[in-house]
Amino acid sequence: MRASLPSTRSFGVIAAATVGLTALTLSSSAQAQLWFEGPTRTYKREARKPEAPRSEAKTSDKIERDVQGPMVAVVSLNDQRVTIYDAAGRLMRSPVSSGSTGNETPVGLYSVIQKERDHVSNLYDADMPFMQRITWSGIALHAGVVPGYPASHGCVRLPYKVAENLFDLTQRGMRVVLVRQDMSPVDFSHPALFKPTAVA
């Protein structure tokens, strides 16, 4: 028995059908790229924060008055700013650079647990002048580049002169508050809280 070959007309019909199906597949694929019916998701693009305006970027290298009572540092991660308070109010404010995406600076209430003037990171082999450690996992306040947006591996970078002056004023145990939105201390009292006694 001899195998029969399709006629030229049959071959033309098969070729036309193949081209037509391919065109349909491509057009439906192109439509799929433009339209998707399924669960809707919205994504908010994180905009990079611009550098602080020049008026805000100015920092006071020195604190112009004597420190009164214990100091507290409040770091606003959204504003990329640190504000230092004592018992009399705000002492100074400065821009900072916190942890970049993937290395975010953790929010919370911390204390300075170690101070070292000329520290070198054992994780990144990087200089960390005027280091004030707040976690044993590697988060600290220290001098570094402050570009106006989060750029560190998780630490809070301060301008060099600010870090130097702050280092000379602080003691281990100083509270460091890392928050998303800026905040400031307020006076409060409650009958169940201890009250300081006057010393004569």
- Least-confidence region, from 41-45, 94-98, 108-112, 163-167: 41-45
Residue-range domain boundaries for the chain: 54-179
Tens of pLDDT, residues 89-132: 999 999 999 999 999 999 999 999 999 999 998 888 889 999 99
- Least-confidence region, from 14-28, 81-95, 126-140: 14-28
Do 75 and 184 meet the contact criterion of CB atoms below 8 Å apart? no
Mean pLDDT, residues 173-179:
96
Do 196 and 187 meet the contact criterion of CB atoms below 8 Å apart? no
What CATH number does the domain located at 54-179 have?
2.40.440.10
DSSP 8-class letter at 88: T
